[in-house]
Amino acid sequence: MLEIIILLICTPALVFIPALLLFPLFAVGVTRLFSRGTRYAPIPFAVVNVTGAFVLCVSATQAALKANYPDGHTIKAAAIAFLGYLALVLVNYWLLEHAKRTGRWTLAALWAPIVMLIGIKYLPLYGLLSPNPALAFVGLSYLSFRLCYLVQEVQNDVVAMPNVWDYLSFAFFLPTMSVGPISPFRLFIGSLRNLDRNVTPVWRSVQRIIVGLAKYIFISTLLSQLGYGALLLDGHPHGWFDLLIAILVYPSYLYCNFSGLCDMVIGVSGLMGIEVMENFDRPFSSRNFQVFWSRWHISLSSFMRDMMFTPMVKLLAARFGPGNLNHAVAATIVSVFLVIGMWHGAGINFVLFGLSQGIGVAAVHYATIFMKKRLGKAGFMAYQKNRAIYVAACICTYLYFALSMILFANSWDQLGKIIKALA
C-alpha cells in the first residue's frame, strides 16, 4: 500500500491518471473492433486489459527513472517482472480449475494468491518480480485479494467457474489494479455479460470522475501541505500546535487522496459498463469505530470479514463454547486488524497501527454490550437517537482515528525526526 501511494505521488500526472481516463475509449474501441459487434467478447477484452496493464507498468517505471526515483531499475526488468506476475496468475487459475473439477486442492487454490503476495512482497522473490519499489503499480495486494475472494465465490457456487479469459480480464482489469477496490468477481462478470446502464449511467460515471479529480488533484494537494511531511519534516523546528494541525488534517488528506482515486476508478469502470464496489461511505460521520470501519476502505473490510473474521469466530466459538462468544469476537477483531496493519507495510509502526484499530473496534464491541445491558432496549435506542451524543461520538471517533494515523503516516525513523523537530 505504501509503495502504491509513493508511485501515485511521484507520477500521477505523467502516467496513472491519463491512462485511467483514456482506457475506456481504448478498451471499448479495440474490443468492438475485434468482437464482431459483441460489446465485450472474452478474448479481446482480456488481451486489452493485460496489454494495458503491461504498458502502464512499463510506463510507470520509465517515469520513475526520469524522476530519478531511488533504486529504479531498467524497463526491461519491469517487463520481465510483469511477465512473472502473469505467469503466477495463470498458475492460480490452474489451481482453481483443478480444485473445482476434482474437489481437491481447494485450500491450495484459496491460499495460492496470498502465498504469491507474501513471497513477492516480503521474501527474496521481491527483488526478482518487483525490480522497483514504484512498480507496486501492479497492485499485487489488490490482485491477490481479488483472486483469493474469487476462489471462495466459485467454491460456494456464487459464480460459475470462469474461463481463462474472463479470469485474466478480472485479474488485470486496469482501472482497479493499483488502488482497488477489491471488487468481487460476481459484480465484474455480471456487468461484463449483462450491461445495465441503470446501474452504471454514463453521466453519473462522468460526475464521479470529475469529483475524484477534484478531490485527488486539488483538495488532497492543499491538505497535504498541512500534513506530517510538508509541515513537520521540513528541517525546521516546530511547536506542538503544528503537530496538532498535522494530526487533525492527515485523515482528511488521506480520505480525499484515496477516495478521489477510487471515485475515478468507479467512474471510469462505469463508463465501460462495469460495476465496481464502493470503497467509502461518509466515514467521518460514523458514531463509533465499528461503524467507521464499515464505511472506510469497505472492500478491504468486507474481504477480511468474509475470509478471516467469520471463519475465525466460528472456530473460536466451537473451541471455547457459546458462553465465550463475545470474547471470541473481540480476539478475532484484534487479529484481523493486526493482519490489516501488516498488509499495509512490514514496519513495527504498521503493526502498532493495526493493533490500535483492533483495540478501537473491540472497545466499541464491549461498550455496546455493556450499554445494552445497563440501559435496556428502550434506553439504548434513546441513546442512539440523541443528536448531541451522536455529534460528540463522531468527533471522538475522528480524533481517535487521527491519533492512530500517526503510526500509519510515519515510519519509526520519521517519528523520531518529528519528536526532535518539536524539542
356-394 pLDDT per residue, tens:
999 999 999 999 999 999 999 999 999 999 999 999 999
Beta-carbon contacts of 249 under 8 Å, excluding residues fewer than 6 positions away, are: 223, 226, 227
Please say if the pLDDT value at position 416 is more than 60: yes
DSSP string computed for 178-204 = TT-----HHHHHHHHHS--TTTS-HHH
Range with top average pLDDT, 20-29, 178-187, 280-289: 280-289
C-alpha cell at 230: 510538508
What is residue 80's predicted lDDT score, i.e. its pLDDT? 76
pLDDT of residue 260: 95
Whether the per-residue pLDDT at 134 is higher than 70: the answer is no
Band of pLDDT at residue 349, cut at 50, 70 and 90:
very high
What pLDDT is recorded for position 233?
A: 83
Look at residue 123 in the predicted model and tell me its pLDDT. Answer: 64
Between 125 and 371, the higher pLDDT residue = 371
Looking at this protein, which amino acid is placed at residue 44?
A: P
Within 10 angstroms of residue 294's Cβ, the number of other Cβ atoms is: 15
**DSSP per residue over 350-409, as a string?**
HHHHHHHHHHHHHHHHHHHHHHHHHHHHHHHHHHHH-HHHHHHHHHHHHHHHHHHHHHHH
* Residue 8 confidence (pLDDT) above 50: no
Residue 280 pairs in a beta bridge with 296
Distance between CA atoms of 371 and 379, rounded to whole angstroms? 9
- Mean per-residue pLDDT, 246-269: 95
pLDDT at 16 over 90: no
Please, what sign has the CA dihedral across residues 12, 13, 19, 25? positive
Average pLDDT of span 273-283: 94
| pLDDT band at residue 5 under the 50/70/90 scheme | very low
Quote the pTM value: 0.88
Q: Identify the bridge partners of residue 296 per DSSP, sorted by sequence position.
A: 280
Q: Which helix (H) or strand (E) holds 112?
A: helix 106-122
User: Contacts by 73-82 with C-beta closer than 8 Å and gap 24+?
Assistant: 73/131, 73/132, 74/131, 77/131, 77/132, 78/131, 78/132, 78/135, 79/54, 80/131, 81/57, 81/128, 81/129, 81/130, 81/131, 81/135, 81/138, 82/53, 82/54, 82/57, 82/58, 82/138
Give 304 or 118, the one with higher predicted confidence: 304
Position 12 confidence tier, pLDDT thresholds 50, 70, 90? very low
Answer whether 252's CB lies under 8 Å from 223's CB: yes
- Residues 24-34: tens digit of each pLDDT: 777 777 776 66
Q: What is the mean pLDDT of residues 329-347?
A: 92
- Sequence-separated (6 or more) residues with CB below 8 Å from residue 145: 113, 182, 300, 303
Is the separation of the CB atoms in 417 and 233 below 8 Å?
yes
Answer whether residue 71 shows pLDDT above 90. Answer: no
Give the DSSP letter of residue 423. -
pLDDT at 53 over 50: yes
How many CB atoms sit inside 10 A of residue 124's CB? Answer: 8
Q: What pLDDT is attached to residue 9?
A: 42
- pLDDT greater than 70 at residue 2: no
* Arithmetic mean of pLDDT over the chain: 85
Which pLDDT band holds residue 140 (cuts at 50, 70, 90)?
A: confident
Q: Which of 235, 345, 153, 261 is nearest to 353 (CA)?
A: 345
Query: Is the Cβ–Cβ distance between 39 and 32 less than 8 Å?
Result: yes
Is 90 exceeded by the pLDDT of residue 296?
yes
